[in-house]
Amino acid sequence: MLLAVLVAAVGWLALRASGEAAPAAAAPAPPSAQGPQVFGQVDSQPAQPSAAERAGRRQQMIEHVQLTDHTYCSYLEGSKYPAGSRPMAQNPDQAYPNRPVTEMTPMRTGDRTSDPNILLQTSQSRVFMAANESVAFSLRAVTPDGSLVPLVVTRAVAAGIMTTGARPTTQVALAFADDGGGADPVAGDGAYAAVLTPAQTGLAGFHGTIRTEVRYTAGGKNGSLIFDVVYSPKLPAVWAGPPREVVEDGSLAFVLRADVRTPGRYVVTGRIDDARGRPFALATFNEVLGPGPNDIRLLVFGKLMHDGAPALPLTLRDVDGYLLKENTDPDRELMPRLEGPVLKSRTQSLNGISDDEAGGEERARYLAEFAKDRKLARDSLAAFDPAQPLPPSECGTPSR
């Protein structure tokens, strides 16, 4: 619209200028002493690209068509489900959040050195810990072929990591044992385990990263390793009342009532298994909550249920959540963890479950922009090389 106004204004000015008195003409130049020119001056022409340059440019344009097409088509496909309700297949590492984190690394013997002939198998049962939770650590040394290497833990101390200049926290000694008790399932198997429950130590009020440094000897050498957990001693909200389900707006929602003590942005995640116990979906709630009672809806999107055709009924399990604090560290206060099954749905069919794709302003905005990019790329290539067909689209040939 503004461009049209500009063009009209320029046109009006041009018409006005044509009616104005012409400026005084410059005095004519004296005739050339060399006689009349027969041939007109030839303008210099830009150098034509070589065949190789043209082929290279064409290849770049093809790649751009493919990139814009992939961007559009993958967004179209991926955004048919909302961000808060996704197939578990798209979240390969989120299915079992409460399983121990295990690692196997060469024994570290110095800042840059390690012994590849001794491998340390370690595990920790938590990385982020809510108030009153415990974490179990374990370590074992083996050779690359799996043979046990006798190990002795010489020192294990947990302390909060403080910023430079802050007063150090209490140090808590941990007793690693291979006696079949506590966190150690099997006595004498060469795996040493210890449990840290910050709430029962001088770290009870500490909020942040607790580092446990373990020094040990194995294979006649000294080694060390660290376990970090991020502890949150204060509960920003607690669960209140039994979970329930509702079919609304064409989707199945598991509804958890929370009593929010500290208002703010809450990020809550739950796992949904099908009737055969197979992980089916990941549901995430991410909204700002005010104080007091709030419903947290973990959605299984209707179209996801139609497309995935899971064996019904579905079960919500393993829910964790936190208050996200902006621009500060530590950045979260954890809610109580709901470990294991939380609610088995009573929904046994897809009655009332919609097959419609997700909508919304964000999706419309992205699809419009990506479609524009794709069209521009295709039009540019077509203009550059009209004789050649355009690359096929991942999601159907768009109109030119």
Partner 1 sequence: MKNALQLAMALCLMAASSLAAAANYTLWINGRTGGGAIGNYNSFTYWGPGTTAAGVNKKSVNWDGRSSIASQSGKIRDALDCFCTGGNWCYIATHSAGDLILGYTLANYGGSARVKKNATANASGVCGDTDGTSQTGWNIKWVRAASGAGGGSELSDVGSWAVSEALVKDLKTTTARAMYNHNTTRNVWFYMYAGAKGTAYSGILPGQDDEAVAYHSTGGVAGAAGGSYCNPSDWLCNDLTLGTAANEGGSAKWSYHSVSFRDDAEAYNHYANGNWGGIVGVVRSAMVNSAL
Which residues ranging from 195 to 254 are in contact with partner 1 (CB under 8 A)? 209, 211, 225-226, 228, 230
Shortest distance in whole angstroms from residue 93 CB to partner 1:
4
CB nearer to partner 1: give 115 or 259.
Answer: 115
CB nearer to partner 1: give 58 or 325.
Answer: 325
Site for partner 1 in 312-331 (CB under 8 A): 324-331
Phi, psi of 181 (to 5 degrees): -110, 165
Phi, psi of 277 (to 5 degrees): 80, 10
If binding means CB under 8 A, how many residues of this protein chain bind partner 1? 72
Task: Determine, following the binding rule CB under 8 A, whether residue 361 of this chain makes contact with partner 1.
Answer: yes
How far apart are the C-alpha atoms of 63 and 57, rounded to whole Å? 10
Task: Determine, following the binding rule CB under 8 A, whether residue 344 of this chain makes contact with partner 1.
Answer: no
At 356, list the tokens. Answer: 């419609």
Task: Determine, following the binding rule CB under 8 A, whether residue 362 of this chain makes contact with partner 1.
Answer: yes
Type of residue numbered 6? L
Among 9, 173, 186, 246, binds partner 1 (CB under 8 A): 9
How far apart are the C-alpha atoms of 102 and 121, rounded to whole Å? 7
Site stretch for partner 1 (CB under 8 A), options 179-187, 195-203, 334-342, 361-369? 361-369
Task: Determine, following the binding rule CB under 8 A, whether residue 112 of this chain makes contact with partner 1.
Answer: yes
DSSP H stretches of helix in the chain = 2-19, 51-78, 302-308, 361-384
Strands in the chain per DSSP E: 85-87, 101-108, 114-124, 128-129, 135-142, 148-149, 151-160, 171-173, 192-196, 208-218, 221-231, 237-239, 244-248, 251-260, 264-273, 279-289, 292-300, 315-324, 332-334, 338-344
Site for partner 1 in 52-111 (CB under 8 A): 60, 63-64, 67, 71, 74-75, 78-79, 83-84, 86, 90-94, 99, 101-103, 105-106, 108, 111
CB nearer to partner 1: give 8 or 187.
Answer: 8
Phi, psi of 230 (to 5 degrees): -110, 115
Annotate each residue in 113-132 with x if it binds partner 1 (CB under 8 A) or - if it does not, as one string. Answer: xx-x-------x--xx----
**Is 299:354 a contact under the CB 8 Å cutoff?**
no
Shortest distance in whole angstroms from residue 99 CB to partner 1:
8
How far apart are the C-alpha atoms of 89 and 272, rounded to whole Å? 12
Site for partner 1 in 265-284 (CB under 8 A): 265, 267, 269, 282, 284
Shortest distance in whole angstroms from residue 16 CB to partner 1:
6
Question: Residue 184: which region, alpha, beta or left (left: phi > 0; alpha: psi -120 to 50)?
Answer: beta
Annotate each residue in 145-184 with x if it binds partner 1 (CB under 8 A) or - if it does not, as one string. Answer: ----------------x-xx--------------------
